[in-house]
A = this chain, B = another copy of it.
Amino acid sequence: MALIVQKYGGTSVGSPERIEHVAERVLATRDQGHAIVVVVSAMSGETDRLVGLARQIDVHPEPRELDVLLATGEQVTIALLSLALHKRGCQARSYTGTQVRILTDSAFNKARIRDIDEAAVRKDLDAGRVVVVAGFQGVDEHGNITTLGRGGSDTTAVALAAALKADECQIYTDVDGVYTTDPRLVPEARRLDRITFEEMLEMASLGSKVLQIRAVEFAGKYNVPLRVLSSFQDGPGTLITFEDDTMEDPLISGIAFNRDEAKLTMVGVPDEPGVAYRILGPVSAANIEVDMIVQNIAADKTTDFTFTVHRRDYEKALEVMNRTAKELGAREVTGDTKIVKISLVGVGMRSHAGIASTMFQALAEEGINIRMISTSEIKVSVVVDEKYLELGVRALHEAFHLDKAPA
């Protein structure tokens, strides 16, 4: 008998019928002799409905009260799922974040979990009950209701699995696992049986929105085996594991991409110590998050400084940069919103220098000009013109034989 934490997202619990379907899945796992904790999100559309109500009253809703409002979404789901389990003769008990006691800090709308009191849940499990927990929410030390921010239900599931020392944390979504790249872009994309935590982190942060990045970090930190599965079809999903597993890692696990970025360059900046800080300081002060950063040294004692931001921040960043350029005596500021970032991810690339050159060659053969390059231990990212997204991803998928399972 294993202890399994299952998490079902908003689409999986989007209607009473779907909730009954989830109840059937939970019972199937239970009939295999496992103890189960189920974490659920709000029914799809419910959080947006609640935010809409709040915005009708105030476009900038007060954070504490917004959390009181939003927390009702998951509370509805835990009650309905518990009702569906009861109807099937299964003893079940629902818990809000407050009732479990998922203790968080007091950062309303984006709280972080500090501690979980698993005593009550454990007692119910020991009594043979299925425990149904509201994801996304917690309580601070003063008894205020908090929420973890969008997608926080994944984090709740992983944190509960860690606290309960569960054998596996299963994240049910509307996809049946993690793919080598987006199957909508590349039909040959293949579901991975396994992926390492580090690769998953790179995949997630690069735009493969299967799992919330904080949940993956959490799982890695507490050694919680994490599995991504589909709630609509059967299958083993993708297991997210530790690198020191016995498996033979393929060179490249997958190709991620991000269409939401824009690029800004300050051209002809006097090349002095501290210039990077003087450029990025004001950007950061304006609450703009920066992703890739590249600096080239030019011949004439000036340098070009390029970075990417989210497209929604482009105009604001441009404004900030123009001010800074004047102060620094830079030649000009250029920018481009019609770009995409494509990244190769794989723990295997650490020991294989040839990865980057194979990547650049594959892109060159298709006539795709690389505008920016950035590398890390387990990924190589390039920025190319937006129009090359599909062609570039397909070329790389083929060049690295990702359609074929590793031997």
Interface residues of A (CB under 8 A from B): 16, 19-20, 50, 53-54, 56-58, 61-62, 64-66, 68-69, 71-72, 75-76, 78-80, 82-84, 86-87, 92-94, 96, 98-99, 120, 143-145
CA gap between A80 and B54 in the complex, in Å: 6
Q: Are A76 and B57 in touch, CB under 8 angstroms?
A: no
Q: Are B94 and A53 in touch, CB under 8 angstroms?
A: no
- A83 shortest CB reach to chain B, Å: 5
The dominant DSSP class at the A interface is: helix
CA gap between A80 and B53 in the complex, in Å: 8
Most central of A20, A84, A144 by chain B CB within 10 Å? A84
Q: Are B94 and A57 in touch, CB under 8 angstroms?
A: no
Give A143's nearest chain B residue, CB to CB.
B99
- Kindly list chain B residues whose C-beta atoms are within 8 Å of the C-beta of A99: 143-145
Q: Are B72 and A84 in touch, CB under 8 angstroms?
A: no
A selection of 18 A-B contacts at a CB cut-off of 8 Å is A50-B76, A54-B79, A54-B80, A54-B83, A57-B87, A58-B83, A58-B87, A62-B82, A62-B86, A64-B94, A65-B86, A66-B79, A66-B83, A68-B82, A72-B72, A72-B75, A99-B143, A120-B143
Q: Are B57 and A68 in touch, CB under 8 angstroms?
A: no
CA gap between A75 and B68 in the complex, in Å: 7
- A68 shortest CB reach to chain B, Å: 4
- Kindly list chain B residues whose C-beta atoms are within 8 Å of the C-beta of A68: 75, 78-79, 82, 94, 96
